[in-house]
Amino acid sequence: MPQMSRQDPLIENHTVDYVPLAERHGKARDLFTLWFSTNIAPLPIVTGAMVAQVFHLNLVWGLLAIALGHLLGGIVIALASAQGPRMGIPQMVQSRGQFGRYGALLIVFFAALIYIGFFISNIVLAGKSIVGIVPAVPVPASILIGALSATAIGVIGYRFIHSLNRIGTWVMGSALLAGFIYIFAHDLPADFLTRGGFNAAGWLATVSLGVIWQISFSPYTSDYSRYLPADIGITRPFIATYLGATLGTILSFAFGLVAALATPEGTEAMVAVKQATGWLGPILMVLFLLNIISHNALNLYGAVLSIITSIQTFASHWTPSIKVRVVLSGVVLTGCCVVALGASADFISQFIGLILALLLVLVPWASINLIDFYVIKRGVYDIASIFRADGGVYGRFNLHAIVAYFIGIIVQLPFANTSLYVGPWANLVDGADLSWLVGLVVTCPLYYCLATRQHTQKVRAARLGYTD
C-alpha cells in the first residue's frame, strides 16, 4: 500500500483531477472517524431535542425513530462514500459519467449552493458560540474568527481534515459520553420517561428527518475517500462510513432528546444541554464550537471543489493548481463573511429552510448515482472520458439521466413539506416530509429502465451494423 513520504506537502496538491494510484494512502477506518466526529455537533443535538419538543415523542419511541431513520439513510451515504477509492475523483466530477459533461453542471451548481449555505450558517453559529463563551468579543470579530479558522483547515485539505477528525472522535466521543453519565447520575424529572408518548405523525417525521439528514451528506462523501487505495474494495469503506455516520448522529440526536427531557418542558435546546450537564456544560460548549469550525471546513472544501468542477467543465485541458484552490477559498470566504456580517437575527433558520428545500434536488441525484454505479456500470467508468472536452463515451448530455432527474424532482413537489413550499399532499402524515420516499421510489426504477433501454438499443445497433 503506498504511503505518504515526509516530502509530501502539508497542503493538498490535488483539486478535481484523478488521484494516481501511487499517491493513494490511508485506511478505511479514517472514514469512521471523519463521519463520527463530524456529526457530534450542536445542530444534530438541537434537532434531536425537537423529537421531544416538536414531535412530542417520549424517550423510547423517540430513540427508536432516531435510530431507524439514520440507519436507513446511512445506507445512501455509505454507498456514495465507497465509490471514492474505485473512482479516485470528487463526487461531483463523477456525475459527468451519469449526466454527461455539461449535463452534470446543474447538479454541481446545486451542490455548491448547499455547501455555501451551510458554510454561512455555521460561521454565524460559530460567531454566536464564541460570544456566548467570551462575551467581550464583538459579534463581527467572532464571525471572522470562525470563518478564518474553518477556511485554514479547508485550504490545507484532505489529510489535515482527516487528522483533525481522528482526534475529534476520541475527544468529542468522550465528552458526549461524559455528558450522558452526568445527566443520568443526577436526579431526573418525574416525567422523564413519561413526557410525550407515541404518535404516528411525530414518529414518521423523526424517521424522515434522520433519512434526509444522511442523504444531505452524499454529494461529497467520496471526496474524502478518493485517496484510499483502489484495492481496498467496496465493503470496508461502506462499513466504516456507515458506522461512523450513523453512530455519530444517533448519539447526538439521542443526547439532544435526553437533555430536553431532563430539563423543564419548553427549555431551548442548547440551554437545556447547559442546564442538564452542570459544570460540564461550559466545557461541552467549547468543544462544540471547535467541532463547528472543523465541520465547516468540509463545507468550504466541497464548495470550492464544486466551483472548480464548474469552471473546468469549460476548460478541459486545464488542471487547476493548489493556488487556484487557495484563491477560490479566499473568494468564497470573503463573500460568505459579507453575507454573514449582514445577516438578520433569524438568518440561520431562514437559510436552513432554503437548504432543506434544496435537498429535494439531492434525492433524485442520489438515486441515479447509486443505480448507475452499483447496478448498471458496476463501478466501471472510463476516467479519461470524464475529463474529455466532448464527454467521451458519456457525451455532453445524457438525456435519460436528465429526464429521470427532473421527473424525480417533480414527483416530490406535491408531498414536500418545507418552510418555503408546502405541497397539496404534504399533510397526508401531519408534520412528516415524505417527499424523499416518493423521489427514491420513482427515480430508481425510472432511471434503470431508461438506462438499460439505451444500452439495449446500442447493443442492437452494433449487432445490426456487424451483420451488414
Kindly report, residue by residue over 109-150, the tens digit of the pLDDT: 888 888 888 888 888 888 888 888 888 888 889 889 988 988
- Identify the residue whose cell numbers are 416538536: 54
CA atoms of 28 and 78, how far apart (whole Å): 12
Q: How confident is the prediction for the chain on average, in pLDDT? A: 86
Q: What is the count of structural domains for the chain?
A: 1
In this predicted structure, what is the pLDDT of residue 118? 83
Residue-wise pLDDT for 43-95, tens only, equals: 888 889 989 998 999 999 999 999 999 999 999 999 999 999 999 999 889 99
Average pLDDT over residues 246-266: 94
The yes-or-no verdict on residue 296 having pLDDT over 90 is no
Using DSSP's 3-state secondary structure scheme, residue 197 falls into: strand
Range of the domain at 68: 21-360
CA atoms of 298 and 286, how far apart (whole Å): 20
In this predicted structure, what is the pLDDT of residue 1? 36
Contact (Cβ atoms closer than 8 angstroms) between residue 366 and residue 218: yes
In this predicted structure, what is the pLDDT of residue 455? 59
Residue 366 lies inside a defined structural domain of this protein: no
Residue 405 lies inside a defined structural domain of this protein: no
DSSP code string of 85-117: HHH-S-HHHHTHHHH-TTTTHHHHHHHHHHHHH
Average pLDDT over residues 426-433: 73
Tell me the Cα Rg of the chain. Answer: 22
Integer angstrom CA distances of residue 93 from 107, 109, 222, 237, 249: 10, 12, 11, 20, 27
Residue 62 lies inside a defined structural domain of this protein: yes
Residues near 334 by beta carbon (within 8 Å), at least 6 away in sequence: none
**CATH code at position 269:** 1.10.4160.10
57 forms beta bridges with 197
Average pLDDT over residues 315-333: 83
Residue 298 lies inside a defined structural domain of this protein: yes
**Which candidate, 401, 27, 332, 59, places its Cα nearest to that of 198?**
59
Residue 207 lies inside a defined structural domain of this protein: yes
Residue 99 lies inside a defined structural domain of this protein: yes
Residue 163 lies inside a defined structural domain of this protein: yes
Which pTM does this prediction carry? 0.88
In this predicted structure, what is the pLDDT of residue 420? 74
Grid coordinates given for 97 = 459519467
Residue-wise pLDDT for 356-382, tens only, equals: 677 788 899 999 999 999 999 999 999
Residue 398 lies inside a defined structural domain of this protein: no
CA atoms of 217 and 76, how far apart (whole Å): 9
